[in-house]
Chains A and B, each alone.
Chain A
Amino acid sequence: MQAASLVSVILPTYNRAYVLRRAIDSVLAQTHSHLELIVVDDASSDDTQSLLATYRDPRLRVVLMEHNGGAAVARNRGLAIAQGQYIAFQDSDDEWRLEKLEKQLLHLRQHPEAAVSAAGFLGLPFSMDSVGYWGLENLERNRDLMTLFRYGNRLSTPSWVVRRSHLEKAGPFDEAMSTWEDWELSLRLDAAGGFVMLDEPLHIAYDTRGSVKFNTSAYAEALERVMRKFPHWVHDEPRALSHHYWLMATWERASGRPRSARRYLHKALRTYPLNKRAWMTLMRRAPELYLLPPADAPAAPRRGGVA
């Protein structure tokens, strides 16, 4: 019988004691039990440490960061001490289903060339008034994953199980990025062996308050950094870049910053004049964007360490 593969699960957390137990329990209860769970506490000031102290499972390892450094730094710290042949990532507000690791390890065995098995997931908004499925059903089937990645982080890190060898080839998370660092790494992993998609929801992603993913300035910085690293895709897929600018415009408008929203909308249309969504936004929102828009509200403060 083949020995069970050791999986290192890395879970960065920052002030999420109120949901952390759910995330940890769902990892430790996996049907593939040969794992180590590395929880990296990114200098939390809440009850995270006392919560972690209640666990007696020897598979749990805790790393305490002295200073809050953000998700990329925390994940890299976990990677540095990981011993598994496979690496998986958990977020502090997500919940895995019991057979997630078992199914994704089998999936990788069926695709020996792939770097990453990415599974679908069920996403719940904070309002809990709906649910969405992110998997092949929602990814446009006529596009390859690389093209989809250009449109953003379609597969969040908790959906991945990565071969350690391929991750070492691709390199760690970019610590200069305060957000979307998983998106940037997915582009490198795609080049290092690629993703295979397991079209089944294997975890539940809960939208909790305080996610940096809705911080437009952090998003814009991340986009610029990705463009510098992967300049070719701007030429190959201007539609994707235009999509990002349009998305930023919608976030800025929703955040009460119509002037900033207008700037991003113009960039979206200059980059790809046939962007239908941008034109629709322009037509629907013209009064609030162009007719005496109020001064922009202050931008959300930058923060790190939310995972």
Chain B
Amino acid sequence: MSASPLVSVVLDAGHGAALRRTIRGVLRQTFHELELIVAVPAQDAAGIRSALEDCTEGDVRVCVTETVPGLRPLDSALAETRGAWVALACAQDEWLLDRLRQQMLLMRALGDPCVAVFGRVLRHSRGAAPAQLSAPALPNSRQIDPAADISADAALMRSGLFRRRALQSLQGLEPGAQLDTRRAWMRDLRRDAIIAAVPDVVAVNEVTSRS
């Protein structure tokens, strides 16, 4: 087990139908210095622990945290994290294997002023809207122009790797938050710091009729 993981991955299990796939995508990352904190409602904790037994591998610390009534799932999970950086995962997403390695490389290259690194998410809904690719698109530049009006949609937030201090206010990250709230959070985040994005796709978000 890694004594001091660099990255803590926080997963709000919610009622994701494909939780096993999500967990496998995290645990099979090419970047290994991580831990996984899964926040689950108390009534679902036993089932989640059982599912985790099937897909836990290597020496990654996996922790199931029962959400405290009155406390948001992300806040419950964050109390357990030990990493210098925090990544957010969603139970509908499958992380591509190189996600964290690419984001950590960029975070280190940009140095201390960098507080968040995003990536692009492929979104696919069966039998409904065509596949989509989330913003930001950065084919030639990895650092996001401070003047640019980047999207603050939920897919973007879930693609983020954050320094801890960037997560002091989590209001904008809650799944149910309004888009305006998320935008305000993004504005605060970038006020005196760098946010950036890897140009590559980091996750596939598959929306099924059950989720």
Residue ranges of A at the interface with B (Cβ–Cβ < 8 Å): 22, 25-26, 29, 31, 95, 97-99, 122, 124, 127-133, 137, 199-201, 204
A97 contacts B132, CB within 8 Å? no
Q: What 4 pairs between A and B have smallest CB-CB spacing? A: A133-B131, A131-B133, A29-B28, A131-B131
- A134-B199 Cα distance, complex, nearest whole Å: 23
Please judge, given known A-B contacts A25-B97, A29-B28, A98-B24, whether A132 and B131 are in contact too, CB under 8 Å.
yes
- The 0/1 profile, CB within 8 Å of A marked 1, for residues 105-123 of chain B is 0000000000000001010
Q: How far is the CA of A7 from the CA of B21 in the complex (A)?
A: 21
Closest B residue, CB atoms, query A132: B131
Contact B25 A98, beta carbon cutoff 8 Å: yes
Known contacts A128-B133, A128-B199; decide if A97 and B204 are in contact (CB<8 Å): yes
Q: Are A133 and B204 touching (Cβ within 8 A)? A: no
Query: What's the nearest-Cβ distance from chain B to residue A224, in Å?
Result: 34
For B138, the closest partner residue in chain A by CB is A128
- Chain B residues bordering chain A, tally (CB within 8 A): 24
Report Cα–Cα, A26/B131, bound state, in Å.
Answer: 21
Given A97-B94, A199-B126, A201-B204, do A127 and B25 touch, yes or no (CB 8 Å)? no
A204 near B201: Cβ-Cβ < 8 Å: yes
Residue B98 interfacial (CB < 8 Å): yes
Q: A122-B131, A204-B122 are in contact. Are A129 and B137 (CB under 8 A)?
A: yes
CB < 8 Å: which of A25, A95, A99, A200 contacts B30? A25
Residues of B within 8 A of A199 (CB): 126
Between A and B, 11 residue pairs with Cβ closer than 8 Å are: A25-B97, A29-B28, A95-B96, A95-B97, A98-B21, A124-B122, A127-B139, A128-B137, A128-B139, A137-B126, A137-B130
Chain A, residue nearest B24 (CB): A98
- In the assembled complex, which residues on chain B have CB atoms less than 8 Å from the CB atom of A99? 21, 24
Q: Which residues of B contact A127 (CB under 8 A)?
A: 139
- Collect the chain B residues with CB atoms within 8 Å of residue A98's CB: 21, 24-25, 28, 94
**Cβ of B32 under 8 Å from chain A:** no
**Residues of B participating in the A interface, judged by any CB pair closer than 8 Å:** 21, 24-25, 28, 30, 94, 96-98, 120, 122, 124, 126-127, 130-133, 137, 139, 199, 201, 204, 206
In the assembly, what is the distance between CA of A229 and CA of B131, in Å?
36
Complex interface: chain A residues within 8 A of B126 (CB): 137, 199-200
Instruction: List the B side residues contacting A200 at CB < 8 Å.
Output: 126
CB distance from A243 to the nearest CB of B (A): 22
How close is B172's CB to chain A, nearest CB, in angstroms?
26
Verify A122–B124 contact, CB threshold 8 A.
yes
Structural contact, B133 and A124, CB atoms closer than 8 A: yes
How long is the Cα–Cα vector from A26 to B25 in the complex, in angstroms? 11
How far is it, in angstroms, between the C-alpha of A95 and the C-alpha of B130 when the chains are bound? 20
- B204: which A residues are within 8 A, CB to CB? 97, 122, 201, 204
Do residues A137 and B127 form an inter-chain contact, with CB atoms below 8 A?
Answer: yes
**Once the chains are docked, how many angstroms separate the CA of A164 from the CA of B30?**
31
B127 touches A122 (CB 8 A): no
For B124, give its contact among A22, A25, A29, A133 (CB under 8 Å). Answer: A133
B127: A residues at CB distance < 8 A: 137
Question: What separation, in Å, do the CA atoms of A29 and B131 have in the docked complex?
Answer: 25
C-alpha gap A31/B24 in the complex (Å): 8
**Contacts of B199 on A, CB cut-off 8 Å?**
128
A138 CB, nearest partner CB in chain B, Å = 9
A87 to B30, CA, bound (A): 26
- B120: A residues at CB distance < 8 A: 128
The complex places the Cα of A128 from the Cα of B201 at a distance, in Å, of 9
State in angstroms the CA–CA spacing of A13 and B70 once bound together. Answer: 54
Docked CA distance A26–B21 (Å)? 14
**A16-B43 Cα distance, complex, nearest whole Å:** 49
Q: Least Cβ distance of B30 to chain A in Å?
A: 6
- Measured CB to CB, the closest approach of chain B to A106, in angstroms, equals 14
Closest to A200 in B: B126
How many Å lie between the Cα of A97 and that of B21 in the bound state? 10
A22, B131: Cβ atoms under 8 Å? no
Q: CB distance A132 to B130 under 8 Å?
A: yes
Task: Say whether A22 contacts B97, CB under 8 Å.
Answer: yes
Could you tell me the distance between the alpha carbons of A23 and B199 in the complex, rounded to whole angstroms? Answer: 18
Query: A26-B97, A131-B132, A133-B124 known; 5 other A-B pairs, CB under 8 Å?
Result: A95-B96, A98-B25, A131-B122, A133-B130, A201-B131
Q: How far is the CA of A178 from the CA of B137 in the complex (A)?
A: 34
Task: Give the complex CA separation of A137 and B94 in angstroms.
Answer: 21
Q: Once the chains are docked, how many angstroms separate the CA of A25 from the CA of B32?
A: 14
